[in-house]
Amino acid sequence: EAEVAQSPRYKITEKSQAVAFWCDPISGHATLYWYRQILGQGPELLVQFQDESVVDDSQLPKDRFSAERLKGVDSTLKIQPAELGDSAMYLCASSLVAGGKLFFGSGTQLSVL
Amino acid sequence: DQQVKQNSPSLSVQEGRISILNCDYTNSMFDYFLWYKKYPAEGPTFLISISSIKDKNEDGRFTVFLNKSAKHLSLHIVPSQPGDSAVYFCAASGRRGADGLTFGKGTHLIIQP
């Protein structure tokens, strides 16, 4: 069964450093999402792409976070500089169309020291 | 302001009995509701969904009920099995799912032998 691939699985960094996460959605899925999940909370939408275009980034802290999906396939989420409060699980999801069932990757667990 | 609320952080149920997980929402624009299941260190996996035009959807041991007037939905698992032990997230979306999902905080279901 096709899966959403994410890397790395774990990332430890010091505050003020830059970090980047990568996501490869299921082949053919036009819609891609980045979510952040803090321990004890539900996933929170950071950004939604339709092909290479950003559909919703209203919850993305744009002073330090950036996301791109240049060719409408894989995507990168970057944090620069990282802060202690950024420690969380970063989840990527994709769906065939907007409004379709979301398939999640295994996530990247970020720890900022 | 939490738009999707799961007020029970945890629930313990005996194997073979019925598990009932509850979810309330406040946004009347939500018209598509989903339940996801999450094991530790994995991404959420889709379980079952329901559109606002229905009040019940069934898939094997899982049934979701929607009460639009009360802005309440519930997930029934019958019979409960040990492998059902996980965190269950309720999620909602507007525009028939075209908007990104808004998640609740989750309920940790523990199935006891």
Contact of B32 with chain A, judged by CB distance below 8 Å, is answered with yes
pLDDT, tens digit, for every residue of A46-71? Answer: 999 999 999 999 999 999 999 999 88
Burial of B77 (0-12, 13-18, 19+ CB in 10 A): buried
Cα separation, A49 vs B38, in Å, equals 24
Q: Tally A–B CB contacts below 8 A.
A: 56
Of A5, A33, A24, A29, nearest in space to B101 by CA = A33
Cα separation, A3 vs A13, in Å, equals 27
Cα separation, A21 vs A28, in Å, equals 21
pLDDT band at B58 (very low <50, low <70, confident <90, very high): very high
Q: How is residue B23 written in tokens?
A: 């979810």
Contact of A90 with chain B, judged by CB distance below 8 Å, is answered with no
Reduced to 3 states (helix: H, G, I; strand: E, B; else coil), residue B97 is helix
Contact of B100 with chain A, judged by CB distance below 8 Å, is answered with yes
pLDDT band at B94 (very low <50, low <70, confident <90, very high): confident
pLDDT, average across residues A67-91: 95
Where does A5-105 sit in CATH, by number? 2.60.40.10
Cβ–Cβ gap B97/A4 under 8 Å: no
In this structure, what DSSP letter does residue B101 have?
P
Cβ–Cβ gap B103/A44 under 8 Å: yes
**Looking at the 3D structure of chain B, how many domains does it have?**
1
Range of the domain at B45: 4-112
> What residue of A is the nearest CA neighbor of B94?
A99
Number of neighbouring beta carbons within 10 Å of residue B24:
18
pLDDT, average across residues A20-39: 94
Q: How is residue B18 written in tokens?
A: 């019925």
CATH number of the CATH domain containing B83: 2.60.40.10
Of B9, B18, B24, B14, nearest in space to B102 by CA = B24
Map tokens 């996301």 to a residue. Answer: A67
Q: What percent of chain B has pLDDT over 90?
A: 86
Lowest-pLDDT range of A81-90, B39-48, B76-85? B39-48
pLDDT, average across residues B6-21: 97
Average pLDDT taken over every residue of chain B: 94
Contact B65, B55 (CB under 8 A): yes
